[in-house]
Structure 1
């Protein structure tokens, strides 16, 4: 099984590679790609893989843009934090739709579906997608996003509602900075972990160090390089910079709601 991995977060990509090897040691990761542009270039120069394992939200857009242009014939397993993309995923060659953080048993199950569908006629896809829709309807009944986070304040554990959170940031550990300028330590290991728990309408992953709350963004300006500099209602430890590649995505997100 030759797999193309499309994922823009290196730590998440590495974890997926490890899970793939644990589940199927004979599987080969052909390449790990982090953007729409890079993926389109790759497909122009390489034969199609057996299977695509793809995140939906990438650094310069969504992976649907890739597949609508190249229209691959091979199956796709989508990974994302949000159910909102489900219907669009099913219109492509999706054999499963896994919510992050990826569970090893769920990924194994997706691989088993892929292998079964390789041995049946194409109408197996339609039947499989019907089951997936049913599964997602059941998931929709569950709470999607956290509304408060616990953190350490002196010797106490406190609960911080998302309305009070100006940003999350990494500085050796993961911190919450509140709108009244408190800095609180969390027990989370990474911003990736926190990002999965946040409503993407309200929070934006600016870079590898910061996740910002839309309500806490006072203004922003575009640098001559194309990067965006954010100014929050609180003074942050360092400048919050959105890369040129994510600038368009940020502007669209900031204008919504």
Structure 2
């Protein structure tokens, strides 16, 4: 049995690999793939080399360059899929339209165990393909649902737990050897991003601003700014308990003011 994993967040991908290994020790795991393009490339290579498709796909919906539905529509995939997502609206629609199952993040091991058991029952009955209703859904969602280009939810870890944080609860990201996510309620989580440059490619520039080399701030966490020295600006955060000094350089000051004003 071959299982393909599709997940663009490294921390979650490693946890998922570990869980699947525990629950399906005899399975061969491939991936994780991290983008719509990598999915298309993967299946194109399988077809070109005459290799069989995986028996099962476990796929995130929101990826770094869009939604996985688009890739499945392009490649005409006929493989059972367990979707994972932090977005209820996608999850519910996918489930109602006959995906094998869906799991909301953070993934519960018992939920994954149940989903894999459902796959084995399905495979035993010989019904391992996606039906025409789901194919129609893939076409419809590509035509009528805007592709989500930016990450809206982030993960970090604390005390061996993976914490899922919607962007509305992000105060800022800070580089201090590691990349930390600071939340509006005062939590400090370690992320798996290697650089702020990597993170900056994934986030919505209307919501986030790269204040300097060490910090990216979230719009709703900022209450304003004040002059600092001759040409710099100092960001004022809404949290009165946050003592971090966030400075915006002279070169970025004008762009910051425009961003804050919308």
Normalising TM by the smaller chain, what interval? Answer: 0.5 to 0.7
TM-score using structure 2 length: 0.55
Contact in 2 for aligned 1:216/1:232 (Cα 8 Å): no
Is the CA contact (8 Å cut-off) linking 1:117 and 1:125 kept in structure 2?
Answer: no
Distance in 1 (CA, whole Å) between partners of 2:9 and 2:55 is 22
Partner of 1:104: 109
Name the CA distance, whole Å, in 2 between partners of 1:123 and 1:3: 13
Quote how far apart the aligned CAs of 1:191 are: 7.5
Please state whether the residue corresponding to 1:8 is helix, strand or coil.
coil
Aligned to 1:58: 63
1:81 to 82, 86, 97: 86
- How far is the alpha carbon of 1:26 from its aligned partner? 0.3
CA radius of gyration, larger in: 2
Q: Distance in 1 between matches of 2:34 and 2:128?
A: 32
| CA-to-aligned-CA distance 1:35-93 (integer Å, 9 cap, x gap) | 10111011101132100010111110111111111121110001111211024423765
| 1:2 lines up with 2:37 in the alignment | no
Q: Distance in 1 between matches of 2:119 and 2:54?
A: 13
Partner of residue 67, structure 1 = 72
1:2-55 deviations in Å (ceiling 9; x for gaps): 011111111111111000011110011122211101110111011321000101
Report the secondary structure of 2:112's partner residue.
helix
Cα distance in 1 between the residues matched to 2:169 and 2:17: 36
Cα distance in 2, alignment partners of residues 173 and 187 from structure 1: 10
SS state of the match for residue 101, structure 2? strand
Partner of 1:39: 39
CA deviations over 1:207-242 (Å, ceiling 9, x no partner): xx9775343589xxxxxxxxxxxx995574799xxx
Q: CA deviation at 1:98?
A: 0.3
Counterpart in the other structure of 1:186: 187
> Mean Cα displacement is larger for which, 66-75 or 13-22?
66-75
**Paired position in structure 1 for 2:239:** none
The reply to whether residue 114 of structure 1 matches residue 115 of structure 2 is no
Number of residue pairs matched?
182
Q: In 1, Cα distance between the equivalents of 2:80 and 2:33?
A: 17
Alignment partners' CA distance in 2, 1:19 and 1:102: 10
CA distance in 2 between counterparts of 1:37 and 1:98 reads: 23
Change (3 A) 1:124 1:170: same
Q: Does the Cα contact within 8 Å between 1:73 and 1:93 map onto a contact in 2?
A: no
Q: Which runs of 5+ in 1 are unaligned?
A: 130-161, 179-183, 193-199, 219-230, 240-253
| Counterpart position of 1:247 | none
Q: Residues 120, 203 of structure 1: CA spacing in aligned structure 2 closer, same or farther, 3 A cutoff? A: farther
Whether the 8 Å CA contact 2:170–2:181 is kept in 1: the answer is no
Aligned twin of 1:176? 182
Counterparts of 2:128 and 2:4 in 1: how far apart (Å)? Answer: 24
